[in-house]
A and B are shown apart, each in its own frame.
Chain A
Amino acid sequence: MTARTRLIMFLAAAAVIAGFFAAACSRLPPFGTPDHPYAARAVAAALAHRTANTVASVNFDIRAFDTLGEESILFGTVLGATLLLRRARDERHRRAEAERVMPTTRLFGTLLLPVTLVVGVYIVAHGQLSPGGGFQGGVVLATALHLAYVAADYRALKRLRPLTFLDVADSLAAASFTLVGLAGLVAGGAFLENVLPLGTFNQITSGGTVPVLNAAVGIEVASGLIALLAHFLDQAVELTDPDQHETGGD
């Protein structure tokens, strides 16, 4: 198929999609409608389980089974990318060299790295109370570690990054989500039912299984993303094909 036929076919399909989509939108409740039946029910359910952040309650309590699927996708993609980006037989490994960094950048990174890590842990731990949780905090934790690369060089980042440990942590966190679900079954409820004591509303221990699942997802997202970025960085910084010449750095 030539590029031109493809474009014409796409434009025809896009016109059809646009027509039906616009027609469907005109029958939707208008933007900002006060009528939200699911919102009322979700808020009532979250308050009944003493979780202040309704979004966290929906993710880790009401629809926890769905989140199990999401974190399985996450685990699967990290696994797949790790397999795809492993060092091929014909690739050469070139150790990253020590690099010189501006002193202000070094100072900025060194100061910011611990602060960002603490912020990440805070976001994970307070997911049931304030906006945040395992997904967001995990990403903050993973990117915080890479401030070491900005502040120093790739070798400093590699020293801060125990990959074997992180791989194990990733798998254990993924498994613990299922184990918390099975605990619900053992306690006589349903899979992933909130069986822990609910605690006091607006306290860090409130919400039953919500903080536990948040922590599991936080560890999984953080370690998974660090491992993912590690493989990409290795590919971009340290591994070269035999037929490739370094043409960058012009």
Chain B
Amino acid sequence: MNEWLIGAALAFVVLSATAAVLTRDPARQAVVLSALGLGLAVLFAVLQAPDVALSQLAVGSALTPLLILLSVRKVSRRPSGTDHRESGGGKEEG
């Protein structure tokens, strides 16, 4: 039973990590990274590492994506956007 859970969580982590790398738009990547963080937290929990899972849950699924979104908002606020579309104003970190 536990083996299956580990296998499923591991597969999800591998897939979402690949998806996070292949998502070229940073604002979208932040969302995929958030899903990856959540998947890693579940994997660490089934690997019997609750301390790391707790850490990963707070950092990987909230803090890192938030920092990336804030940077995207700061960086993409410019007249001649080069290669990234506007991520929209407002409170995207809500």
Contact = CB atoms under 8 A, between A and B. Distances in A.
> Are A and B close enough to touch in the complex, i.e. CB under 8 Å?
yes
Contact of B51 (A133, A229, A235, A246): A133
A229 B59 CA distance: 13
A99 B89 CA distance: 13
A28 B39 CA distance: 25
Contacts of A233: 70
Contacts of A235: 70, 74
Contacts of A225: 63
Contacts, number: 77
Interface residues of A, number: 33
A142 B66 CA distance: 13
A118 to B, nearest CB: 15
A135 B55 contact: yes
Q: Do most interface residues of chain A lie in helix, strand or loop, or is the interface mixed?
A: helix
B58 A136 contact: yes
Interface string A112-156: 000000000001000000011101100110110010011000000
Given A244-B77, A248-B76, A131 B54 contact: yes
A215 to B, nearest CB: 17
Given A232-B71, A233-B70, A236-B73, A250 B88 contact: yes
Contacts of B91: 99, 149-150
